[in-house]
Structure 1
Amino acid sequence: MGSARSKVGRGLARRRPASVYLLATAAAAMFMAAGGMSGGTCNVPQPPGNSNGNGNGTGNTGGPQITSSDHVLGNASAPVTVVEYSDLECPFCGRFARQEFPTFKANYIDTGKVRFVYRHFPLTNIHPRAQPAAEASECAGDQVDFYAYIEEVFSNSSDTSTLSDESLRDYAVGLGASGATFDTCFDGNAKAGRVQQDVNSGAALGVSSTPTFFVNSRRIAGFQTAAQLGAAVDQEMGG
């Protein structure tokens, strides 16, 4: 670890330049002003009962275009692509990751039906640690499995202290990353542009809250159970 960080104090968030978050914050503010947020939360899940699992909006768009910088999980030639726009500080994103994603992965990704892509959409106005957490995941992903890191973060996301700079570094090192290499990337804000790339793509597709899923071109906003998201995949496959 660099000496500058240790002088600040282990476990405390560093004061990072406000300009690093300016674009992401502006995008999130625009979406919230447009009514994309509900009750000051990243998304409010509704009781089961409809195919979308929520009333927050669905629709068909052109769909996300997968690029070489995306983190693709599963069969690259799968008939259905599912893209999740997520926020590492969003409790409903965490709920999906912990409770629903393992089942969805076993039934659809591991079986070759779905290629899955995680994209960042930090809502910085309400989640101040979402942006550094997103950048940390990209720094970690240069050295270790990106999805293993995301899983580690969500598995420990009981409160914001688990997203401190210290914790974000510890997760990476625990998975086998070099702490020094991680520090160089993270302390230098090397991945701010990479995160902004995801935010921009979400903005262009009408994303306004997290989690938001795209099942091919169909947008589904809000928390989904494995069964609900699977039903949307089945529909795309003509089932």
Structure 2
Amino acid sequence: MSVQSTRGRRVKAARTNNLLYLYIAVGVIAVIAITALVVLLTRNTAEITTPTAPVGRTDDGFYYKGNPDAPVKVIAFEDYQCPGCAFFTRNLEPILERDYINTGKVQFIYHELPLTNIHPNALPAAEAARCAGDQGKFWEMHGQLFANQSIWSQLNSPLNTFSGYAGIIGIDRAAFDSCMQAATHREAILAAAQSAAELGVQATPSFSVNGQIVDSNRLFTAIDAALRAAGR
């Protein structure tokens, strides 16, 4: 056997081994990527829950959850593109819901305040929540929007993404898309923002606790004080 033939076999074997290692590496990377995607999707959709407390709309059209006869009324002034609002919704609102809303102590009312000068997608996001609300899924879309804020807030136009969320929460996408395209709720949302400004609310998230405007740092203290004042 010639030296050249032996070298040829060695080169071919080395190439085969290199290709094998490459395929293994690509496979491992693919598994990691798929696993990460599954974890991300599971994490986000896990935050989309249906409230267990009573839900509905106030006489002036704002969505609420909690006993309408609760001794404490908490109005949340929020912007769907506001990072602080997302933090509150994902970390503090579940505590508020567990300890105060579900126990009948607090009625929680959501009041849109899109800061369109710095958050261009906040208004269509608020419209998406209300369009979902037309089909009885306001709070589900509310949760979806905040869970995925980092995704849609970067888009030039988030409408297709919002339509996808409509499918995820199980509503009629055609009806949802029609509602969005017609800007059905835009006037009401802009009026809500104006009324918040007239109350002196300038930042999000802000809250009214039985008429007292507070930020998220003072929210629970203000609620407890209002409950004590109500004899609860």
Match of 2:227 in 1: 237
What SS does the corresponding residue of 2:214 show, helix, strand or coil? Answer: strand
Match of 2:167 in 1: 173
For 1:77 and 1:182, the matched residues in 2 are separated by 32
For 2:87 and 2:98, the matched residues in 1 are separated by 17
For 1:136 and 1:168, the matched residues in 2 are separated by 7
Asked if the contact 1:144/1:176 (under 8 Å) is kept, the reply is: no
- Deviation of 1:179 (Å): 0.9
Gap runs ≥5 in structure 1? 1-65
* Equivalent residue letter for 2:104: G
Deviating beyond 6 angstroms after TM superposition, the runs of 4 or more aligned structure 1 residues are none
- Deviation of 1:170 (Å): 1.2
For 1:67 and 1:236, the matched residues in 2 are separated by 23
For 1:67 and 1:83, the matched residues in 2 are separated by 14
User: Which of 104, 126, 144 does residue 152 from structure 1 map onto?
Assistant: 144
User: Which of 181, 194, 203 does residue 200 from structure 1 map onto?
Assistant: 194
Q: Residue deviations 1:131-155, cap 9 Å, x none? A: 1111111111101321111011101
What SS does the corresponding residue of 2:150 show, helix, strand or coil? Answer: coil
TM norm structure 2: 0.69
For 1:151 and 1:231, the matched residues in 2 are separated by 25
Aligned residues: 170
TM norm structure 1: 0.67
For 1:158 and 1:144, the matched residues in 2 are separated by 25
For 1:124 and 1:83, the matched residues in 2 are separated by 20
Indicate the structure (1 or 2) with the bigger Cα radius of gyration. Answer: 2
Asked if the contact 1:120/1:195 (under 8 Å) is kept, the reply is: yes
The structure with higher relative contact order (CA 8 Å, sep 6+) is 1
For 1:199 and 1:67, the matched residues in 2 are separated by 17
Q: Residue deviations 1:15-58, cap 9 Å, x none? A: xxxxxxxxxxxxxxxxxxxxxxxxxxxxxxxxxxxxxxxxxxxx
- Deviation of 1:68 (Å): 4.2
For 2:109 and 2:142, the matched residues in 1 are separated by 12
- Deviation of 1:178 (Å): 0.7
Q: Identity over the aligned pairs, expressed in percent?
A: 37
Asked if the contact 1:144/1:172 (under 8 Å) is kept, the reply is: no
Match of 2:93 in 1: 101
Asked if the contact 2:78/2:85 (under 8 Å) is kept, the reply is: yes
* Equivalent residue letter for 2:219: L
For 2:87 and 2:198, the matched residues in 1 are separated by 26
User: Which of 81, 90, 104 does residue 89 from structure 1 map onto?
Assistant: 81
- Deviation of 1:200 (Å): 2.1
Q: Residue deviations 1:101-146, cap 9 Å, x none? A: 0011100000000000011100011101001111111111101321
For 1:95 and 1:101, the matched residues in 2 are separated by 9
For 1:146 and 1:82, the matched residues in 2 are separated by 18
Pairing 1:117–2:109 present: yes
Match of 2:33 in 1: none
Asked if the contact 2:137/2:171 (under 8 Å) is kept, the reply is: no
For 2:61 and 2:227, the matched residues in 1 are separated by 26
Match of 1:79 in 2: 71
Bigger drift between 152-161 and 181-190 goes to 152-161
Match of 2:5 in 1: none
Gap runs ≥5 in structure 2? 1-57
